[in-house]
Structure 1
């Protein structure tokens, strides 16, 4: 299978797939589908804006042996590059300015779609009849994400002192432990260093995901002084990719 996998830059046309991967890994690395009525919410915050807004970008892992609707309708794709996105590493290389763009251009439309004042939201009853809707109550996890859309958290001063750049990485479970997490981060690190002139990078991880901590520590990530628990960073000169 690994011979069918390759890495390329992330595109806007990947947006829906990135959101789906985010949902399928949002519960400490495993699927959070059962926790949400509105499964797009994790990706709205942690995946999709990185391919739509300035001051961000990244790379995706693609399985050439699979096809996706996005690849079939993406004019930038050619036959050699086709396949299905199965993982990503996304970064904001100027986090404060990226957060300004989120506030100005991204969150307003989702605040309208998911207002704080309404307990139920319209959702399709079936995929075959998307215009037929019913009221559905958001679950606890939905409410947390909706609150974050209306009151978004900001990067801590301690993290920003270390670096303006942060990242998110997620890979579908069946493609994990094949070495592609390291390769995705390596590609991202090289891009941030060469194209953006950066020397450091940080990320926030789910404290419950013990395996992820071990993975990052092996790569050279360390806890950051003055940053919240779970925020780790790396000096590119210490990168072990």
Structure 2
């Protein structure tokens, strides 16, 4: 199934496939459609679409060999700059679909809408030494075949060519499979006070990416 799959740059026609992947892997690595039945594009409008739009040079997909994206990695070279562009350029494109809740969030959808309207949450002082950040997702049937490692290597190489000194990511702590992958490809934990449900990890782009995943 995966023998013909290749890594290539993201193309605009990959948009629907990337959005679908984001949703199908958006709940601790599993399907998130049941959590956001009234807003199926909400997760990718936060964690995929803005990256592909604002930093297309740092967006790559796993192509199944027939032109369909089955996995992707996206990144931002400078998190503070990206957060500002998210507010100024991306949020006006989508906020009409997701009005800001007036009360404390009561549903998963309202919690995510709160994140959408607060891109400054990405700026964490303890991560200043890791200015870039990334998101990576693969459909389950394309995992454990080395595609995650190749996606990571491709993005890290692009960051290194751009002179980016280090990159971070935030992962749901309960997602132990994801943590095992990040450990294998050279990430280490970064101490952040009161991180909530997340664990922050970082690494330097020029390091060799580790074992196949």
Normalising by structure 2, report the TM-score.
0.87
Task: Kindly provide the CA deviation profile for residues 147-187 of structure 1, in whole angstroms up to 9, marking residues without a partner as x.
Answer: 1222332221111x222110000000111111110111011
Tell me, yes or no, if the aligned pair for 1:95 and 1:165 is still in contact at 8 Å.
Answer: yes
2:174 maps to: 208
- Listed as ranges, the matches of 1:1-241 within 5 Å are 1-36=1-36, 37-54=38-55, 57-65=58-66, 83-116=67-100, 140-152=107-119, 153-159=121-127, 161-194=128-161, 196-226=162-192, 228=195, 229-241=198-210
Structure index of larger Rg: 1
Distance in 2, Cα, partners of 1:237 & 1:31? 33
Tell me, yes or no, if the aligned pair for 1:55 and 1:97 is still in contact at 8 Å.
Answer: no
Distance in 2, Cα, partners of 1:190 & 1:116? 37
Deviation at 1:54, TM superposition (A): 4.3
SS in structure 2 at match of 1:22: helix
Q: 1:12 to 1:141 in 2, by over 3 A?
A: same
SS in structure 2 at match of 1:52: helix
The answer for unaligned runs of 5 or more in structure 1 is 66-82, 120-137
1:134 maps to: none
Normalising by structure 1, report the TM-score.
0.78
The answer for unaligned runs of 5 or more in structure 2 is none
Moved over 4 A (4+): none
SS in structure 1 at match of 2:169: strand
What is the root-mean-square deviation of aligned Cα atoms in Å?
2.2
Give the paired residue count: 204
SS in structure 2 at match of 1:4: coil
Deviation at 1:12, TM superposition (A): 2.8
